[in-house]
Structure 1
Amino acid sequence: MNVIPSALTGVMIIEPKVFGDERGFFYESFNARAFEQATGIKQQFVQDNHSRSAKGVLRGLHYQIEHAQGKLVRVTAGEVLDIAVDVRRSSPNFGQWASVLLSAKNNRQLWVPEGFAHGFVVLSDFAEFLYKTTDYYTPSAERCIRWDDPDLAIDWQLTGTPTLSAKDQAGKRLNEADLFP
């Protein structure tokens, strides 16, 4: 496993060791011992989620203010641009974001620690997105920051208007949102 630091401290790109030949490929998508040795992070994951989205669907920027979740995310079909935003007021990186291209082809994963908002946009015809979380989904704790907040100025690499859920359309600007201390 190869670990690449992102532009934000704590957010890491994980590249698993892939074994491939003419038959196909094999890789461990998660091994707790190897993850801890490579990242220095010992986490227990309690929930796995799987979504499928069409091209142009943008999901995010989501986080839970209580029951904060760390997320290990990956794509098993298609391609997405994945975004993490530091929403910890006390952080020197507060309001900064990092992006990484995740695809079934590159097998990359992204570790998004607690205290970060997370989102992605689908660049391929569709994408299947999997994520492991360190705490359970808690609807009352969920928050959403607008994907197009001008204070964040995220480059989503869009060629048109994204498709959003009602929840994402109602997201708050960073300066109005409930955030981490």
Structure 2
Amino acid sequence: MKFTTTTIAGVILFEPTPIRDERGFFTRTFDAATAAEAGIDPASFVQENQSRSSAGGVRGLHGRLGAGEAKLARCARGAVLDVVLDARPGSPTFGVVETFVLDDVDHRQVYVPGGCLHGYQALSEVADFCYKSDTYYAPGEVAVHPFDTDLAVPWRAPLGALSARDASSPTWREFVRDTLGLDDRAGL
């Protein structure tokens, strides 16, 4: 398994080497030594979650304030457009959006550091999305509207289901001003 850094500070892309034959495939989904080499404490993950989405469905952009919640995300079935928004004031990439296609063919994974907002769109008929987290689930996530035109997320499929919570989330400008308490032009 190899890893590379990406545009957003602290976001890491992991790429395994699946072995394929007439039976299907085998791939490594986590490697503690590779995580440690990438600067991630492999023992920090305390919970793993899975969600299933239908074609076009969008979840996010969600996260936690402060130290946040770090995630190691992958798509176990189907394909998703994974989206990361750097919401860490003081970060050199604050306000930057980066996207990745995660699927059940290449088995790439994205490490999302705490303080970033995260979401995805199902690109296949059904998408099973899995992620390890360094914190236990607790209410209190913050969110930004995934279709905010200032963010210009390049959603790839016709838009499907969106939760009422996500649909009523603030824009990036509102989030920066009202939630982070910064000048609403920051990060734009």
- Please indicate, yes or no, whether the TM-score normalized by the shorter chain is above 0.5: yes
Aligned Cα root-mean-square deviation (Å): 1.7
- TM-superposition CA deviations, 1:104-128 (whole Å, max 9, x none): 0111101111110000001111100
- TM-superposition CA deviations, 1:112-171 (whole Å, max 9, x none): 1111000000111110000000111111x2111000112211111233x33101111111
Unaligned ranges ≥5, structure 2? 183-188
* Equivalent pairs, count: 178
Q: How far 1:80 sits from its partner (Å)?
A: 0.5
Work out the CA distance in 1 between the residues paired with 2:56 and 2:72: 22
Could you tell me which residue of structure 2 aligns to residue 119 of structure 1?
Answer: 119
- TM-superposition CA deviations, 1:38-96 (whole Å, max 9, x none): x1222410111001110010000000125621000001111110000000121121111
State the secondary structure of the residue aligned to 1:13.
strand
Conserved? CA contact 1:55–1:122, under 8 Å: yes
Could you tell me which residue of structure 1 aligns to residue 148 of structure 2?
Answer: 149
Paired residues for 1:2-81 under 5 Å: 2-37=2-37, 39-43=38-42, 44-65=44-65, 68-81=68-81
State the secondary structure of the residue aligned to 2:82.
strand
Runs of 4+ in 1 over 6 A off after TM superposition: none
Segment drifting more, 104-113 vs 62-71: 62-71
The one-letter code matched in structure 2 to 1:51 is S
Could you tell me which residue of structure 1 aligns to residue 186 of structure 2?
Answer: none
Could you tell me which residue of structure 2 aligns to residue 86 of structure 1?
Answer: 86
- Structure-2 change in CA distance of 1:33 and 1:86 (3 Å): same
Q: TM-score normalized by structure 2?
A: 0.88
Conserved? CA contact 2:16–2:29, under 8 Å: yes
Unaligned ranges ≥5, structure 1? none
State the secondary structure of the residue aligned to 1:33.
helix
Identical counterparts, % of pairs: 39
Could you tell me which residue of structure 2 aligns to residue 103 of structure 1?
Answer: 103
Could you tell me which residue of structure 1 aligns to residue 171 of structure 2?
Answer: 173
User: Is 1:138 aligned to residue 135 of structure 2?
Assistant: no
Conserved? CA contact 1:45–1:134, under 8 Å: yes
Conserved? CA contact 2:144–2:171, under 8 Å: yes
- Structure-2 change in CA distance of 1:66 and 1:10 (3 Å): closer
